[in-house]
């Protein structure tokens, strides 16, 4: 069972994140999410909200980079009719929309100095006024923030307020980049292929071992979001045929295959042999295990170790492969 619905991962990096998320969901302090583009900051923020006592109340995501500096107060705190040119009616802001729930401010490092000062005052007093309205309102919201830049470095460069940083940093969660998540990479790729095939109504491509080696070699600078887009493109372009490295986008396919230690080379060779044996027996594990000269239980353990839990069952819906797919845990995407 997933610790947080919609987010799965078996790697040690994700297990550490899940433990930190559990602690964050159980308290009310402000949480700052630090991670590269595409690592799933909004998804984590939403999961924290849904696992907290504020679930059932609004979750309001706001991209700070899209806030108008001149209208920051009107957008965040709201305004009344006539407060400025074009204000033809009263309008509540994001804080009021999130009342009782969670306000998620993404890309908080993009706020202007003026907007940072207004946000700091709100965090200190937990009170606000709609633009043009003298009434002081008390806010009951939990603030979650996120950024893909190092805010401490931004402070040293004079681009971010140090006092605001300390207000936001009650609890900091660092989201791991995809290149550090080990076994999650192929499992997520499998998930995205399946997801795209279902949504597009197309046959599932049949990756060959060289395809997976290319996927493992590439560093994925755009993280899970980039991986999802790559697998969706693959499904649309390739349909149900066998696919290799040349079917990946040029950027991914051109990544050099790194020559690592002997252990890594032997593991790749073993992975390829097991995969080919499974393919030759239609994904039926009992038959593949017999051909390999091992028990079915040993094959299952080997598949998990080699990251072949999803890609091995090439004949979907047949025999043991179908049963295995319905019972085994599959990782779900982590994206912004």
How large is the average pLDDT for residues 73-99? 88
How large is the average pLDDT for residues 213-218? 91
Which pLDDT does position 48 carry in this prediction? Answer: 97
Calpha distance 91→112 (Å, rounded): 23
Contact 10, 184 (CB under 8 A): yes
Residue scoring higher pLDDT (308 or 287): 287
CATH numbers and ranges of domains, the chain: 12-176 (3.40.50.300), 179-327 (1.10.8.60)
Which pLDDT does position 309 carry in this prediction? Answer: 58
Contact 108, 18 (CB under 8 A): no
pLDDT greater than 50 at residue 326: no
Which pLDDT does position 320 carry in this prediction? Answer: 41
- Where does the pLDDT of residue 323 fall: very low under 50, low under 70, confident under 90, or very high at 90 and above? very low
DSSP β-bridge partners for residue 113: none
Comparing C-alpha atoms, which of 80, 86, 90 is closest to residue 133? 80
Calpha distance 204→236 (Å, rounded): 10
Question: In percent, how much of the chain has pLDDT > 90?
Answer: 61
Contact 90, 129 (CB under 8 A): no
The CB density around residue 212, as the number of other CB atoms within 10 Å, is: 23
319: left (phi over 0), alpha (psi -120 to 50) or beta: left
One DSSP character per residue, 153-164 reads HHHHTTSS-HHH
Which pLDDT does position 265 carry in this prediction? Answer: 56
pLDDT greater than 90 at residue 165: yes
pLDDT digits (tens, 9 = 90+) for 140-150: 999 999 999 99
Please provide the average confidence, as pLDDT, over all residues in the chain: 86
pLDDT digits (tens, 9 = 90+) for 178-191: 999 988 999 899 99
| Alpha helix stretches (DSSP H) within the chain | 12-25, 41-50, 72-77, 94-97, 113-125, 151-156, 162-168, 184-200, 209-217, 223-238, 250-253, 262-280, 285-292, 296-306, 319-327
């Amino acid at each position: 069972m997933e610790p947080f619905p919609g987010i799965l991962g078996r790697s040690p990096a994700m297990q550490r994140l899940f433990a930190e998320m559990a602690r964050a969901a159980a308290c009310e302090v402000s949480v700052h999410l630090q991670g590269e583009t595409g690592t799933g900051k909004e998804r984590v923020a939403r999961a924290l909200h849904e696992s907290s006592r504020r679930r059932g109340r609004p979750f309001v995501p706001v991209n700070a980079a899209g806030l108008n500096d001149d209208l920051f107060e009107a957008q965040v705190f709201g305004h009344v009719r006539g407060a400025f040119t074009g204000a033809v009616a009263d309008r509540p802001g994001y804080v009021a929309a999130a009342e009782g729930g969670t306000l998620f401010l993404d890309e908080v490092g993009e706020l202007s100095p003026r907007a940072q000062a207004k946000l700091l005052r709100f965090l200190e007093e937990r009170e606000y006024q709609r633009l043009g309205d003298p009434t002081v309102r008390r806010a009951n919201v939990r603030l979650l923030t996120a950024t893909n830049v190092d805010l401490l470095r931004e402070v040293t460069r004079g681009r971010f307020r140090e006092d605001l940083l300390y207000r936001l940093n009650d609890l900091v969660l660092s989201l791991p980049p995809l290149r550090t998540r080990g076994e999650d990479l192929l499992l997520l790729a499998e998930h995205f292929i399946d997801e795209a095939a279902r949504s597009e109504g197309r046959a599932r491509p049949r990756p060959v071992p060289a395809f997976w080696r290319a996927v493992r070699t590439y560093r994925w600078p755009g993280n899970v979001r980039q991986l999802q887009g790559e697998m969706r493109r693959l499904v649309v372009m390739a349909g149900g045929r066998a696919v290799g490295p040349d079917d990946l986008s040029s950027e991914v396919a051109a990544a050099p295959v790194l020559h690592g230690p002997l252990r890594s080379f032997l593991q790749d060779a073993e992975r390829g042999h097991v995969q080919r044996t499974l393919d030759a027996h239609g994904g039926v594990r009992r038959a593949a295990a017999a051909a390999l000269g091992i028990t079915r239980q040993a094959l299952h353990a080997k598949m998990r170790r080699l990251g072949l839990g999803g890609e091995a069952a090439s004949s979907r819906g047949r025999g043991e492969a179908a049963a295995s797919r319905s019972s085994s845990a599959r990782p779900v995407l982590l994206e912004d």
